Structure 1
Amino acid sequence: MDNKWYFDIAPGAIDDLKAHAKDITTLIPFWYGVKEDGTLADMSSTDVKKIASDNNLPIYAIIHNYSDPKKSQLIHDLLSTPHLRNTLIASIRDVAVVNNYPGINIDFEFVPPEDRSNLNTFLKDLYISLKALGKVVTISVPAELSDNPLHPFSGAFQYSFIAQNADQIYILAYDEHFSQPGPIASIGFVTNVLNYAVTVIPPQKIWLGMAVYGYDWTQGVNYPRTLTYEQAITLAKNLGVTIMYDETAQESTYTYVLDGKTHTVWFEDSKSFSAKLSLVDSYKLSGIAVWRLGQEDPAVWNILKAR
């Protein structure tokens, strides 16, 4: 199965890459942040480039807007100002050429919904520019259940237009729950996302974005903390708590009480991973894009190797 893995430097991530470089189809590292003037902040790693090169592992570098705390304002300015938009496209083209990356990945989040047409213009111009050089153009898009131009998080992303101006589309079908406890990506949620997506994007252009992490919500706190699979398992073990696999959501969960506050944990493991993989087959998608290397249940590699 075509499996692409997002990569960010974190404890254990490099070791995980070394161990599984030969099992990964494409590495998508979180390396290039957009700047106010349309240039890119280079956070690439020589070590990671060498590991990839030694293993003939292609790199599609991520271009993201996480380098600035004012993410939505920054991306609005870049997309809506023609000369900045053109500078950004030139910067992306240069980074792909100089580093000999076979492809790039656009990962813009917090794009204001009113910038839909500006994002479309950017993607179309970028696609034309990079295709002329034989580069693969990929984009990570938020999960959608319908085309809603007013949606505060996903409104800027018009699947039907993007499908014509990208080679590969990674649908981030996770974070179903964030401000309140619930599954990271229940099987029902992912199915609903794909039911819509395949009506406006050719299935062969879709890679299912999959999570391999968990969240721990504290009662009364709006946002959860992220847990790796290993942290989720260890925490339950240390607290003597039983992990339950929710058959409806097809995901693991448990609760515990600490300092008088109830915590709710949901996390992905090899069983939930396998359940979602079956959707890739049934919808005839091209593969998966996983966030992110180093957070996963080690058993997922056996599942991937068996396919």
Structure 2
Amino acid sequence: MNDFNCNKFLENNWYYVSTAQTLKALEIYARDIDFLIPFWYGITDKGTLVDQSQFEALLIARRNKLPIIPIVHNFSNPKMAGLIHEVLTSPNIRQKLIFSIETLLLTQNYAGVNIDFEFVPPEDRYYVNTFMEELYHRLSPGFRVTISVPAQVEDNPHHPFSGAFDYNTISRFSDELYILAYDEHFSTPGPVASIGFVRRVVDYAITKIPRHKIKLGMAVYGYDWVETGGMPRTLSFQSAVNLARKYGATITYDDEVQESTFTYIADGVRHIVWFEDSRSFSAKLDLAICYNLGGIGVWRLGLEDPEVWGVIRKKLV
């Protein structure tokens, strides 16, 4: 692919979680972001919303004229799968939730909404489609209707995590789909998002979704696995670098997968770390640019290598 055909005008959008570290990053980089996507509103079994917004972040965003597309999610309840099933399959609760979202957007002057429903039972695929259709007809064109969806390389309606998400149908009732092209490895050590994995995800997505509607979900974090097994610990870029320095580990950039890695020994146990840095970010940004996608959605602000901002300023118009 050559630069002449590449879209350098794609949006640079960032996910946000309310922490002191993230708030500090927002203060520094607000003017470099096109849309902020904060993890702020949980759903209830009555179709109402739990307000988890951060007043200080709202002030910074508004002072910098940074538009906000808040996330509406099902993480406010420990029974996430049961909750989302109950909400999606009930016409009355669905309508109440849509009304709650519309009221929120109007009263807070938000630019739109990002739907982030996870652990949706695959048998509820029809109801995800129905909800997005009803939401889109209620909110569009006044607000952006967007959704975060799991990465897929094929359509498998029975997949326990991604089966409920029908790219083709959802794209008809969404302005943007944020495809979360990361967590390639989680239960076992490996790259957070190898370039080959991301390319396969995008290659499939463009067969189902118009390119301008695709926002490529990009990671800027890392994972630390214990070799003996178990779930990994999440690391920011800086904590990964500090960890390598603490244990005298050598960081290696794997050119094949386009990601950084190292190992270390702590208390006699070997650890394996993979993490994203500005070089791996640049490789994935190039892919988004030259696939002519609509933009990127980065998880999440405050975890990144500070040098990614230089990459963004250099590569995006």
| TM class by smaller structure | over 0.9
Residue 3 of structure 2: aligned partner = none
Q: Secondary structure at the match of 2:282?
A: helix
RMSD: 0.8
Mapping 1:138-149, distance limit 5 Å: 138-149=146-157
Q: How far apart, CA to CA, are the structure 2 residues paired with 1:31 and 1:44?
A: 5
What is the rounded CA distance, in whole Å, between the counterparts of 1:2 and 1:125 in structure 2? 26
User: Counterpart of 1:200 in 2: which secondary structure?
Assistant: coil
- Structure-1 separation of matches of 2:88 and 2:95: 9
Check conservation: 2:247, 2:265, Cα contact below 8 A: no
Counterpart residue number, 1:4: 13
Q: What secondary structure sits across from 2:20 in the alignment?
A: coil
Query: Helix, strand or coil for the counterpart of 2:172?
Result: coil
1:236 aligns with 244
Residue 125 of structure 1 corresponds to which residue in structure 2?
Answer: 134
Residue of 213, 235, 238 corresponding to 1:227? 235
SS at match of 1:245: strand
Identify the residue that residue 213 of structure 2 maps to in structure 1: 205
4+ runs deviating over 3 angstroms = none
- Aligned partners of 1:28, 1:142: CA distance in 2, in Å? 17
Shift of 1:304: 0.6
Asked if residue 137 in structure 1 is aligned to residue 145 in structure 2, the reply is: yes
Write the mapping of 1:49-198 to structure 2, written as runs, cut at 5 A: 49-131=58-140, 134-198=142-206
Give 2:4's aligned residue.
Answer: none
Superposed displacement of residue 292, structure 1: 0.3
Secondary structure in 1 matching 2:118: coil
How far apart, in 1, do the equivalents of 2:48 and 2:219 lie? 30
| 3-state SS, counterpart of residue 134 of structure 2 | helix
Q: Which amino acid aligns with 1:249?
A: V
Secondary structure, in 3 states, of the residue corresponding to 1:163?
helix
Aligned equivalents of 1:306 and 1:149: distance in 2?
Answer: 40
3-state SS of paired residue (1:141)? strand
The answer as to whether partners of 2:11 and 2:296 remain within 8 angstroms in 1 is: yes
Aligned residues: 306
**Ranges in structure 1 where 5+ consecutive residues have no aligned partner:** none
> Which has the larger displacement, 214-223 or 161-170?
214-223
> How far did residue 188 of structure 1 move?
0.3
**1:223-242 per-position Cα deviation (integer Å, ceiling 9, x unaligned):** 10100000000000111100
TM-superposed CA distance for 1:148, in Å, is 0.5
- Residue 291 of structure 1 corresponds to which residue in structure 2? 299
1:301 aligns with 2:282: no
Q: CA deviation at 1:222?
A: 2.2
Question: Residues of 2 paired with 1:248 and 1:141: CA distance?
Answer: 26
Instruction: For residue 124 of structure 1, give the secondary structure of its aligned residue in structure 2.
Output: helix
Q: Give CA-to-partner distance per residue, 1:234-255, whole Å, 9 cap, x none.
A: 0001111000101111000011
| Aligned mates of 2:257, 2:19 — CA distance in 1 | 29
Per the TM alignment, residue 90 of structure 1 is displaced from its structure 2 partner at its CA by 0.8
Whether 1:279 and 2:293 are equivalent positions in the alignment is no
Alpha-carbon distance, 1:61 to partner:
0.7
Q: Is structure 2 residue 14 aligned with structure 1 residue 13?
A: no
Show CA shifts across 1:24-68 (max 9, x none). Answer: 000000000011111000011111111001101000010011111
TM-score normalised to structure 1 length: 0.98
1:287 deviates by 1.1
Shift of 1:185: 0.2
Contact 2:252–2:260 (CA under 8 A) maintained in structure 1: yes
Q: SS at 1:60's partner residue? A: coil
Q: How much has 1:94 moved relative to structure 2?
A: 0.8
- Provide the rounded CA distance (Å) in 2 between the counterparts of 1:252 and 1:81: 46
1:192 Cα deviation from its structure 2 partner: 0.3
Question: What is the distance in 2 between the residues matched to 1:29 and 1:243?
Answer: 32
Identity of matched residues, %: 55
